[in-house]
Amino acid sequence: MTETYLPEKTISRRRNNNLILRPFLKWAGGKRQLLPILRQYIPKDFSSSYFEPFVGAGAFFFDLQPKKAVINDANKELINCYQTIRDNPEELLELTREYQKNISKERYYELRELDRKSDFESLSNVQRAARIIYLNKTCFNGLFRVNSQGQFNVPYGDNKNPIVADEAVIKAISKYLNQNNIKITNEDFKDAVSTARKGDFIYFDPPYDPISDSSSFTGYDLAGFGKDHQRLLREVCDELVDKGCKVLLSNSSTDFIKDLYSDKNYYTWHEVKATRHINSVGTSRGKINEILVFSNYDVR
């Protein structure tokens, strides 16, 4: 069954959740603005494991705050940030405090150039994480984009009074990751959900199918994420649904995606309005149509 649905109500964040937990990075395609709607799509009886194979900045993950989860992303530098916050928060904060003292175009390009040097791999995990956080908070529009050599290539953003790292947020995330059963992986999305079982909840937030040629954003991952990847993702969703997993997926509301998930025996989709603040093309920001595809459970 497919249908268009514009929610008339929103659901507030659960009161017993830690309100300090939130993304530590700005992220293209982040779900912070869509959270009031996404909360309606959390399974009512969800009590087992949670999987998010395209975690990005983790807006939905930090809002949901599961006690047992697998979070994954193909972006190696991003996953290193999560692991460093979990394992070495104080050392990371000490270095970001030093970076905070020098917010400048010169310092930005000095750090950006590091991945073009032969000794980049010799940087510690903390140094790499602090670098990414600094670049993210000071680059143009909070984008994460790499060129064909895997080098960060977003220009300086000249942002006003950026905070490199919010200490309260970093410490809260570290505590949460350590006090709960949270596995952090850097794998292909298919491998990231290979251990999912009946009753588990999986949320897929892949790179979106472009609504136009100018809106395609593939620089986040060297391999890109084209229509063949979208078809493979649909196959993975089918397998999870057959296992009895509760599956939720968000994507752009294109004819291709609607057709891909048109099998009424597997999926229902609802069309929603989403706000986009981060986009490399200014005219692509604002309200856009997205769809939420779900299976094996009823929405709230």
Full pLDDT tens readout for the chain, 300 residues: 455 554 545 565 565 788 899 999 988 777 888 999 999 999 987 768 999 999 999 999 999 999 999 999 999 999 999 999 999 999 999 999 999 999 999 999 999 999 999 999 999 999 999 999 999 999 998 888 888 788 899 999 988 899 999 999 999 999 999 999 999 999 999 999 999 999 999 999 999 999 865 554 445 555 578 999 999 999 999 999 999 999 999 999 999 999 999 998 899 999 998 766 555 444 445 567 899 999 999 987
Measured from the Cβ of residue 219, the count of other Cβ atoms closer than 10 Å reads 18
- Compute the radius of gyration of the chain from its Cα atoms: 19
Residue 126, CA atoms < 13 Å, CB-side half-sphere: 12
What's the pLDDT score for residue 99?
Answer: 97
Domain coordinates of the chain in residue numbers?
32-69+187-295, 80-167
What's the pLDDT score for residue 15?
Answer: 56
The CA–CA distances, whole Å, from 61 to 1, 54, 159, 244 equal 28, 11, 27, 21
Name the DSSP letter for residue 155: P
Q: Where in 59-154 does DSSP place strands (E)?
A: 68-72
Fold: same for 32-69+187-295 and 80-167:
no
What would the CATH number be for the domain defined by 80-167?
1.10.1020.10
CA pair distance 293, 230, nearest whole angstrom: 13
What's the pLDDT score for residue 280?
Answer: 45
CA pair distance 171, 175, nearest whole angstrom: 6
| Cβ atoms 95, 125 nearer than 8 A | no
* 178 phi and psi angles, rounded to 5 deg: -85, -30
Q: Which two tokens stand for residue 246?
A: 């509760």
What's the pLDDT score for residue 32?
Answer: 82
| Cβ atoms 209, 227 nearer than 8 A | yes
Which CATH fold would you assign to the domain 32-69+187-295? Answer: Rossmann fold (3.40.50)
What's the pLDDT score for residue 117?
Answer: 94
9-20 pLDDT, tens digit per residue, is 556 556 578 889
What's the pLDDT score for residue 215?
Answer: 52
**Residue whose pair of structure tokens reads 């929603």 in the numeric block:** 272
| Cβ atoms 25, 50 nearer than 8 A | no
What's the pLDDT score for residue 12?
Answer: 59
**Residues whose CB is less than 8 angstroms from the CB of residue 95 and which lie 6 or more positions away in sequence, other chains included:** 126, 127, 130
SS3 210: coil
SS3 248: strand
